[in-house]
Structure 1
Amino acid sequence: MPGPDGFTYVVRGSDVVISHHGRVATTLRGGRAVDFLRDVESADDQELMARLTGNYRRGNERQARNHPRNRGR
């Protein structure tokens, strides 16, 4: 399964603007921006940005919903 791609980020003053395929996905401010800049140096930046923006689903949600242990939820 391919990992996330198409994310970029720009530092604007004390804010970090994360875009996905050219469209603004989220803006991080304050402590979250500082934490992001620290973490992006040591982690997979695409995966980190996908998690922060909520864009980390990969299409298997329907299968998981239909699994016997998840029925009735």
Structure 2
Amino acid sequence: MGEARGFGYVERGDGSVVISHHGRPAGTLRGERAAEFLAEVDDDPQLVMARWTGNYRRGNERTARQHPRNRG
């Protein structure tokens, strides 16, 4: 099991991988995708799990905050 700033993953006996975010399931990978994930997760677990679940920042938050529509 890997834990990194809110993300975690569990390898199951059937070869699938369950990725969770703050204790809630965020995705399940099976077969070839699970093997790809496990090969990649050692590099930077936080970034890899966020990318595989689609839960990551895209780098435009500051720009969006400064947009006239979002000024309060």
Tell me the equivalent position of 1:56. Answer: 56
- For 2:16 and 2:52, how far apart are their aligned partners in 1? 14
TM-score (norm 1): 0.71
Ranges of 4+ aligned residues in structure 1 off by more than 3 Å: 58-62
CA drift at 1:59: 7.4
| CA RMSD across the alignment | 2.6
Q: Which one scores higher on RCO, CA 8 angstroms, separation ≥ 6?
A: 1
Gaps spanning 5+ residues in structure 1: where?
Answer: 68-73
Gaps spanning 5+ residues in structure 2: where?
Answer: 68-72
- For 2:59 and 2:44, how far apart are their aligned partners in 1? 21
Sequence identity percentage: 65
- For 1:6 and 1:14, how far apart are their aligned partners in 2? 23
| Number of residue equivalences | 63
